[in-house]
Amino acid sequence: MSNDKKLVEAITPINEDFAQWYTDICLKAELVDYSAVKGCVILRPYGYAIWENITHILDGMFKATGHENVAMPIFIPESLLQKEKDHVNGFAPEVAWVTYGGAEKLEERMCVRPTSETLFCDHFSHVLQSWRDLPMKYNQWCSVVRWEKTTRPFLRSREFWWQEGHTIHETADEAKAETEQMLNIYAKMAEEYLMIPVLKGKKTDSEKFAGAEATYTIEAMMHDGKALQSGTSHYFGDGFSKAFNVTFAGRDNQLQYPFQTSWGVSTRLVGAIIMTHGDDSGLILPPAIAPIQVVVVPVAQHKQGVLEKAEELRERLSKFVRVKMDASDKAPGWKFSEYEMKGVPLRLEIGPKDIEKNQCVLVRRDTREKYFVSLDELETKIPELLDELANNLYTRAKENRENRTWACTTMEDVIKTAAENSGYIKTMWCGDEACENMMKEKAGLSSRCMPFEQEHLSDVCPCCGKPATQMVVWGKAY
């Protein structure tokens, strides 16, 4: 049996056991390793490089819209956390507490930040003076801790990496516009860079962020039909400002409370990429965030001139793509499997016969199509193939979502459809939380969002038969 065959056999088939397939890829593609801390993972260089590319793109979008990066402490005093009742209640089950500093018991225990609203509010109360100081539009890149019971790499771990934006504004309308703007930035990131189609919509009250007046979300469908909440943006109104006594002198010289937002995405996006685009051979990375966009593999590299030509091509390609040349002594077949496992979008093969013909072989990761390309055309052909690959990933993901979305008008239809299929179910809804709970109990579905793009499927709620005016998308979620 060939070595490259063994490498692929290390992955459980995607349609046999999706959860195990996902874990296999995280480990075999060298994205993560398990740490000595239960529930926490180590981001290995390749996994971190994917996240790093995502952060660079998003950070540019944030700064282009007037946001500044800051850094807050990792610890939050319990008294500070307690100031916003709904917020603390929402996070209480997941909080990790520090009770000792060195050998001495702390007078007040500290939580390791699960999120930083309270720290930002405390800071705002110190630095905000006048309406002229507004808006304050901050973001921080950091890790947070939530003591999850069940963990999985990227999707849910006790410590994870993310960005959290926190802004305050003079008026409610400005804050609401900020909330919408950031959700649109997340959707743009997902669809134009990660090539993942998303639903944009509003969360129900039972699913919104603790302490928020409204939560908006982008929801992505994974290969197996389950949903993944991939980014959220929250409008807080002035509730946090009042709880933390954040005030400013308004244009009328009267004290006023600013209106607040927060928004965030995390390393969960890496998990979304794996579960949306991957196949039985491993990752398939969208070119925009791939650490290596093209890998150069010399064939018969022991023959004169092959390694030199491969290095010449690597140097030439480095001017317009992220490129690696593998001159290791592994067999070409092993290298092919290794870089397929790692999801490298394009492979360039060059051997003695290719050199004679002034050509190379380009192989796309998504379709495995081979292209014999003149070495004189690489500057145009490689970007063209990368664009084609990216568009194909988006098209395939969107087709998967469309093929796994059903509209239902009765509870009987919902239960039957959910039992027989995995995907989204669209229904009308009366707005009653009891009916939302019924969906969970009888069909095993949670509300994903009330999409901005509404459809009128019927006049009544399938749960209770009462008049319904809004459509909800339901599904099983990670």
Q: What is the pLDDT of residues 212-224, one digit of tens each?
A: 999 999 999 999 9
Tokens of 367: 């379709």
Measured distance CA(260)–CA(213) in Å, rounded: 10
Whole-number pLDDT of residue 2:
43
Cβ-based burial of 156 (10 A; exposed 0-12, middle 13-18, buried ≥19): middle
Is the CB of residue 267 less than 8 Å from the CB of residue 161?
A: yes
Q: Assign domain 3-277 to a CATH class.
A: alpha beta
Whole-number pLDDT of residue 93:
85
pTM of this structure: 0.95
Measured distance CA(51)–CA(59) in Å, rounded: 12
Under-70 pLDDT residues of the chain: 1-9
Tokens of 427: 């229904």
Whole-number pLDDT of residue 6:
54
Measured distance CA(296)–CA(376) in Å, rounded: 16
Contacts of 119 (CB under 8 A, 6+ apart): 72, 73, 76, 80, 113
Buried b (16+ CB within 10 A) or exposed e, 66-101: ebeeeebebebbeebbebbeebbebbeebbeeeeee
Measured distance CA(58)–CA(115) in Å, rounded: 19
Q: Where are the domains of the chain?
A: 3-277, 292-400, 405-475
CA-closest candidate to residue 208, choices 439, 433, 414: 433
Architecture of domain 292-400: 3-Layer(aba) Sandwich (3.40)
pLDDT tens per residue, range 136-170: 999 999 999 999 888 999 999 999 999 999 999 99
Tokens of 443: 């069909």
CA-closest candidate to residue 57, choices 141, 153, 136: 141
Whole-number pLDDT of residue 1:
36
Which 3 state secondary structure label does DSSP give 258?
A: coil
CA-closest candidate to residue 412, choices 427, 430, 434, 431: 427
Helix ranges restricted to H, 278-377: 306-317, 332-341, 352-357
The CATH number of domain 405-475, selected from 3.40.1110.10, 3.55.40.20, 3.40.50.150, 3.30.110.30: 3.30.110.30
> For residue 459, what are the CA distances in angstroms to 242, 252, 437, 449, 468?
40, 48, 20, 19, 6
Measured distance CA(337)–CA(470) in Å, rounded: 48
Which 3 state secondary structure label does DSSP give 82?
A: coil
